[in-house]
Amino acid sequence: MSDELLAEEFEEAPPPGGPPQPQQHFASRFRGLTGAVAPLVTVVIAFLAGGLVVLVTGKNPVKVYHAVFNGTGLNWFFHIGSYHARIPFSTHKMWFPWNTASIAAGNLQQTLLLTTAIILCGLAVAFPFRCGMFNIGGQGQYLVGTYVAVWLGSSFVNLDPFVHVLLCVVAGSLLGAVWAGIAGLLKATVGAHEVISTIMLNWTAVWVGEYLFGQGGPLQGSNKSVPISNDIAAGAKLPVFWGLALLQGLSIGIFIALAVLVVYWLIINRTTLGFEVRAVGFNPEAARYGGISVARNYFLAMAIAGSFAGLAGALDITGWEYNLGQNDIPVNQIGFIGLAAALLGRNTAIGVGLSGLLFGALINGTSGRQLDPSIFRPDLAGNLTTIIQGLVILFVGLNLGAIWASIRRRRRRAT
């Protein structure tokens, strides 16, 4: 985001009366510094403010945050001892410093399941951002990924598991790419603003889903009394390597998400596509004059982004949800959490990864399943999470480095 703000400054004509530049030096120096500092400060502020809200309504923020933390499973890392853990996909056991079957372990699995989706949805925002576009459509792209994954997952019963899973996952990514591609195409051809088109596509996806999975809808399961789809076939489920599938153990989806993080980094920094995307993101005119096709990059950036979000949807279905109900659709917010993660992570691979972990932990820790209602009502906690999310986005938008630089500049002018 700081890049965008800096680029904005340079589009103004240089100040009259002399060569420009020294103020830009400030900004560039601070850009390096604020690489990690600004997001950290943002998170601290957001949590403090959230704590304030809790305090104002008469509860103890410290107790609440402690309970939330235990629910995230992150406390698992702090209980080091000597245990025997089962090696995934076999029956052998080996020595391991952490207890892989504890309650905290179970909580951590939940957190990482969420992290999987949040990372991918975050990348779906980060990638177009580097191309100068704001993809708010991650939610819709995620949803269409779930729709097609459920459909394909439950329509075939006796496919080879590897093929079946691959089919669902690839189809989910593809449909997500198509959904985002609509917005990308509109931007590339007629210059339609992607914010508007993706917001509209989000809501369209929601209503289409409610239609598909509602009472009497085409994808409603064989039990016609509830608006829920059929379960996907056993062969379409992702292998769970930690915990039990029945208790929502952690599927290999997390590794896929981490792999995609690496892929993202590679594409952005080491490929010609990434070079073009970044050039277009910083200065579409100069990119055009350099021979780069701006329209093609707009479309590709959106399509690739959509594939990330669609992949998230497919991984969620094949990894732990296994079916989709009409009522799940409008309450799902994972696309927007991914948005917050991308902003907090400043659209970098490491940033999105860490923010994904943070938000995954936060959502899990405040969910109804983990939080002890006597300490804090889960539905209150859910809203608290939304508030923190909003605060993070609000504060992350501030380019703290540039503000610091402009304060110093103003002080200098006054002297």
Q: Name which of residues 280 to 299 contact other proteins (CB under 8 A).
A: 282-283, 285-293
Say if CB 359 and CB 46 are below 8 A apart.
Answer: no
Give one word for 398, left, alpha or beta, with left for phi > 0 and alpha for psi -120 to 50. beta
Q: Which residue has the tokens 């890049």?
A: 3
Contact region with other proteins (CB under 8 A), list: 4-12, 34-42, 63-71, 242-250:
4-12
> What is the nearest approach in angstroms of other proteins to the Cβ of residue 338?
12
Q: How far apart are CA 207 and CA 217, in angstroms?
A: 12
Q: How many CA atoms lie within 13 A of 333 on its CB side?
A: 14
Which 19-78 positions form the footprint of other proteins (CB under 8 A)?
19, 21-25, 28, 53, 57
Residues 206/329, Cβ–Cβ less than 8 Å: yes
Stretch that binds other proteins, among 64-72, 155-163, 365-373, 388-396 (CB under 8 A): 388-396
Q: Write down the least CB distance from residue 102 to other proteins, Å.
A: 32
| Near other proteins by CB under 8 A: residue from 245, 328, 377, 404 | 377
Residue type, 172: G
The only residue of 18, 82, 222, 410 in contact with other proteins, by rule CB under 8 A? 18
What angle is formed at CA 99 by the lines to CA 94 and CA 100, rounded to 5 degrees? Answer: 75
Sign of the CA dihedral with 220 first, then 225, 227, and 232 last: negative
Pick between residue 104 and residue 133 the one whose CB is nearest to other proteins.
133
Name the minimum Å distance from CB 31 to other proteins: 9
Name which of residues 148 to 187 contact other proteins (CB under 8 A).
182, 186
Provide CB contacts within 8 A for 221, sequence distance 6+: 154, 228, 229, 230, 231, 323
* 93 contributes a contact to other proteins by CB under 8 A: no
User: How many residues bind other proteins, per CB under 8 A?
Assistant: 97
The distance from CA 111 to its chain's CA centroid, rounded to whole angstroms, is 13
Judged by beta carbon, residue 99 or residue 386, the one nearer other proteins is 386
Q: CA 349, CA 29: separation in Å to the nearest integer?
A: 21
| CB-CB contact of 315 with 253 (8 Å) | yes
Q: Which is nearer to other proteins, 14 or 88 (CB)?
A: 14
CA distances from 26 to 29, 33, 225, 406 (A): 5, 11, 64, 9
Task: Rule CB under 8 A: say whether 16 interacts with other proteins.
Answer: yes
Q: Which is nearer to other proteins, 180 or 252 (CB)?
A: 180
81 binds other proteins (CB under 8 A): no
Q: Which is nearer to other proteins, 45 or 85 (CB)?
A: 45
- Least CB distance to other proteins at residue 242 (A): 32
Query: Which of 214, 313, 351, 353 lies at the binding interface for other proteins (CB under 8 A)?
Result: 214
Q: Taking CB under 8 A as the rule, does residue 409 contact other proteins? A: yes
d(CA 180, CA 182): 5
Q: Rounded to whole angstroms, how far apart are CA atoms 220 and 209?
A: 11
Asked if 273 interacts with other proteins (CB under 8 A), we say yes
Asked if 207 touches other proteins (CB under 8 A), the answer is yes
Nearer to other proteins, 176 or 274 (CB): 274
Residue of 236, 256, 279, 358 interacting with other proteins (CB under 8 A) = 279
